[in-house]
């Protein structure tokens, strides 16, 4: 299983960062390449700027832990056998530390996952800092 992780420090209070991260349909504002999202129960339907459509199943949206997790089920447009992503927002003194990690199978998707997570934390930082 390939594992990837990216992090960023944001000069905003954790509750403010969490409000952005935990909004399942707000990601087009900060996640590069996401054009639109809708929510049906615990399933987030994502449409990318290239027209690819992916259903993400929200596993955890825990305000106490400030943890958001989702998985992409096998058999979709991207041929994952396993996918689980986690975003944690931690108190970091006068700001927040955001850690975005993921596990994916087959391993060949690991480098792409790393690029995606790197771009996402950069996009989140830009959105929150400007």
**What confidence tens digit (pLDDT) does each residue in 27-44 have?**
999 999 999 999 999 999
Residue in 105, 33, 51, 31 with CA at minimum distance from that of residue 75: 105
Domains of the chain: 2-18+57-129 (3.30.530.20)
Largest CA distance in the chain: 43
Tokens of 36: 């639109």
Residue in 73, 79, 96 with CA at minimum distance from that of residue 11: 96
R_g of the chain, CA atoms, integer Å: 14
pLDDT, mean over the chain = 96
Q: What are phi and psi of 64, to 5 degrees?
A: -65, -45
Predicted confidence (pLDDT) at residue 6 exceeds the cutoff of 90: yes
| DSSP assignments along 63-96, one per residue | TTTTEEEEEE-TTSSS--SEEEEEEEEEE-SSSE
Q: pLDDT tens digits for 68-81?
A: 999 998 888 888 99
């Amino acid at each position: 299983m390939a594992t990837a992780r990216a992090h960023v420090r944001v000069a905003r209070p954790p509750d403010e960062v969490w409000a952005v991260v935990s909004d399942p349909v707000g990601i087009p504002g900060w996640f590069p390449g996401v054009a639109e999202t809708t929510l049906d129960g615990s399933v987030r339907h994502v449409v990318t700027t290239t027209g690819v459509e992916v259903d993400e199943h929200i596993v955890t949206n825990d305000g106490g832990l400030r943890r958001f997790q989702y998985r992409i089920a096998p058999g979709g447009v991207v041929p994952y056998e396993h996918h689980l992503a986690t975003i944690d927002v931690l108190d970091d003194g006068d700001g927040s530390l955001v850690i975005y990690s993921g596990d994916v199978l087959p391993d060949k998707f690991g480098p792409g996952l790393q690029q995606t997570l790197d771009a996402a934390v950069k996009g989140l930082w830009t959105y929150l800092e400007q």
